[in-house]
Chain A
Amino acid sequence: MSAVMANWRRLFVPGEGKGVPVGIFVAIFAALVLVAIFAPLIAPYDPNTQNLLGRLKAPGTEARGTYYLLGSDELGRDLLSRVIYGARISLSVAILSVLLSGCVGTALGMLAGYRRGWVGIVVMRLVDIFLSIPAILLAIIMVAVLGPGFVNVVLVLALTRWPRYARVAYGQTLSVAGQPYVRLAKAMGAGPVRMLFLHILPNIIAPIAVVATLEFGLMVLFEAGLSFLGLGVQPPMASWGAMLSVGRNYVSNAWWIATFPGVCLFLLVLSVNLIGDRLSDYLNPKSR
């Protein structure tokens, strides 16, 4: 166990010429998570309070008793407060959808790889089917049938991304299941649940974790894309993606509306991607 800890430390401390110095990005990620958790304590104002006479105020101006440190948006809301609260939405959408799609996809993929036969066929063809349906179609269907909102954004993302995990889990399980120790455990009478969770899962979790980190960044971007298409979280609640998709209409007369949430979103995705990249280097001995 202590060897693992030592390895983890090596992961984040830049060694000689190995990968990207990732510590700073871990710090950025942690800072963004803290902002999300403590949003109500940090935000200077209510993120949804409008001021129709204080629209599109530049950063550092004041209108009707509100000091807009990062400027105000198209309805005169304090951009700083909205960016701070937006961290909650962006992060929680990404975390929940990664967890959901990761669990479902991994479970199905393991099952398919372990049982093979018709179970394997059905699961893997289901993967094909889901990969063939455009995400936008699934998104609109979810909204039409279940109504719009935060939960449905998470469901849409999970529904479109689980096949990715299922494929990795399937391939990994196939190779692990052939290992002597797994055969031994099976011969000793371990049940399928025990087999999957005690013997196979621990051996395939590393590549799954890499996929999950890379997917995390994608989920943040996908959520932004859904907002751009008008299928994201419901206003006035705002994710960084939603603020960005409104703010892009103001690039030449109120640059701040897109820039601040955009930079936050960029830093979040970049840091997660770099951590994921480092993680995959670390777990893949060939590239060390």
Chain B
Amino acid sequence: MSVFLLQRLGQALVAIFGVMTLVFFIQRLTGDPTYLLVPETATQEDIEAMRRTLGLDQPLLMQYLDYLGDMLRFDLGRSFVQNVAVTEIIASRLPYTLQLAGGALLVALVIGLPVGLALAIWRKHRSTNVLMGFVLGAQSMPTFWSGILMIMVFGVWLGWLPPSGSGSLSHLIMPSIALGLLSMATYARIARSSVLDELSKDYVRSARARGVGTGRLVGKHLLRNSLIPVISISALEISQLLAGAVIVETVFAWPGLGQLTVQSVQSRDFVVVQGIVLLGALVTIGVNLIADILYSVVDPRIRKGDGA
């Protein structure tokens, strides 16, 4: 077991190293930030001078070695554009990203789970189909459209919520809904299938035979037992939510990592992009690693095969 663990951990580290190396080099295929940093009137010499200041005149391999050295010292570097430490920039954005991801998850769970439950329990009723149509419909609109419609209706015409920005709970509501709608259907599906799964089990049947009512059955047993797959999918959904917020954050001027990613990629702020990707890789690959380890506990065949 521990050998497998170590191997799998080693692989994860190699994968993270791979991501960082790949991102380092492919970013530099896209040119460099100097043209965006200098004013329009800058001459070719000014541009060269700017490149020297940023250290971008060095051979690529030297830059890479420098980067690796910094990584080993846990130094993520400084932003080209803002001239501020990357860790500071990311740390200022992270709370907003977590708030938004949390809000979105809440929306998805609060709507998705009951819908899934209803679909499973009243599966004989045709009317529940409307519910599924609703959750599927909610994820069939591009967020930049549903976002601006929400802003116009609730922010401008009704004036119930601030149209955009951050700073209070009321600011968080619309972006959370816009983002949460996307994963609502996933939860509804999982909740439905896991409740159906539970319903077919012996303890449910015997409880029913003893005359336990549906309400009590759901409250006492079903919900708790069918939550396990929901939680395990949430781990994956969270890393999706962290990444998927790019458009929602842009539309709602929400100062999270999604907006930062777009801006940094577009302004060729390589160092910031590397920092964001590293964080993303740690989360994504970390979650995968945990999932793999859990599976291997459940199903030892995987362990044997993978290690061979």
Contacts of A225 in B (CB 8 A): 142-144, 246-247
* B137, B145, B265 — most chain A CB neighbours (10 Å): B145
Q: Choose among A126, A141, A224, A273 the residue that contacts B136 (Cβ–Cβ < 8 A).
A: A273
Q: Choose among B125, B141, B185, B302 the residue that contacts A17 (Cβ–Cβ < 8 A).
A: B125
Q: Is the CB of A274 within 8 A of B133?
A: yes
CB-contacts of A240-288 with B (<8 A): 241, 244-245, 248, 251-252, 258, 262, 265-266, 269-270, 273-274, 277, 280, 284, 286-287
In angstroms, Cα B253 to Cα A166, docked, is 35
Q: Is the CB of A244 within 8 A of B30?
A: no
Interface of B is mostly: helix
Q: Is the CB of B132 within 8 A of A17?
A: no
Contacts of A274 in B (CB 8 A): 132-133, 136
Q: Is the CB of B136 within 8 A of A229?
A: no
Binds B, one of A41-49, A93-101, A131-139, A181-189: A131-139
Binds B, one of A79-87, A114-122, A193-201: A114-122
Contacts of B123 in A (CB 8 A): 17
Q: Is the C-beta of A20 less than 8 angstroms from some C-beta in chain B?
A: yes
A-B contact count (CB 8 A): 152
In angstroms, Cα B306 to Cα A125, docked, is 12
Q: Is the C-beta of A180 less than 8 angstroms from some C-beta in chain B?
A: no
Interface size on A, residues (CB 8 A): 52
Q: Is the C-beta of B149 less than 8 angstroms from some C-beta in chain A?
A: yes
Can you give 9 A-B contacts (C-beta < 8 A)? A20-B133, A128-B281, A134-B280, A144-B29, A225-B143, A228-B144, A229-B246, A273-B140, A287-B192
The residues of A with any CB-CB pair to B shorter than 8 Å are 14, 16-17, 19-21, 116-117, 120-121, 125-126, 128-129, 131-137, 140-141, 144-145, 174, 178, 217, 221, 224-225, 228-229, 241, 244-245, 248, 251-252, 258, 262, 265-266, 269-270, 273-274, 277, 280, 284, 286-287
